[in-house]
Amino acid sequence: YRSRKVSSKVERAPATMMNADMDAVEAENQVELEEKTRLINQVLELQHTLEDLSARVDAVKEENLKLKSENQVLGQYIENLMSASSVFQTTDTKSKRK
């Protein structure tokens, strides 16, 4: 009877070590999974940020083109006003002296 008891203890020891090793591997896998999940979430957040910034750049480009066009119209309007006004006409000093 004693020999059986000793042999059963010996058989349990490797099983217990295997369970401990498996628990360590499982814990390591859990840590890796959490790290991968964190990195995936970070990548997704950066992708959304990039999309938002890209949309903002497009909106600013469009606004810039609109403002350039408005500036051209205003510049032409001012030029026309100046050419129509006698205040801005060039004076010919030679013809006045004669």
pLDDT tens string 52-93:
999 999 999 999 999 999 999 999 999 999 898 888 776 655
Give 90's DSSP letter: P
Lowest-confidence range among 1-5, 17-21, 27-31, 40-44?
Answer: 1-5
- Structural domain contains residue 49: yes
How many domains does the structure of the chain reveal?
A: 1
- Structural domain contains residue 24: no
Instruction: Give dist(CA 91, CA 85) in Å, integer.
Output: 13
Phi, psi for 85 (deg, rounded to 5): -90, 140
**What pLDDT was estimated at residue 20?**
77
Indicate the pTM of the whole model.
0.53
- Structural domain contains residue 22: no
Range of the domain at 37: 33-59
- Structural domain contains residue 43: yes
Answer with the residue of higher pLDDT: 1 or 35. 35
Lowest-confidence range among 30-34, 40-44, 56-60, 79-83?
Answer: 79-83
- Structural domain contains residue 53: yes
- Structural domain contains residue 38: yes
Cα distances (Å, whole numbers) of residue 35 to 9, 41, 42: 39, 10, 10
- Structural domain contains residue 47: yes
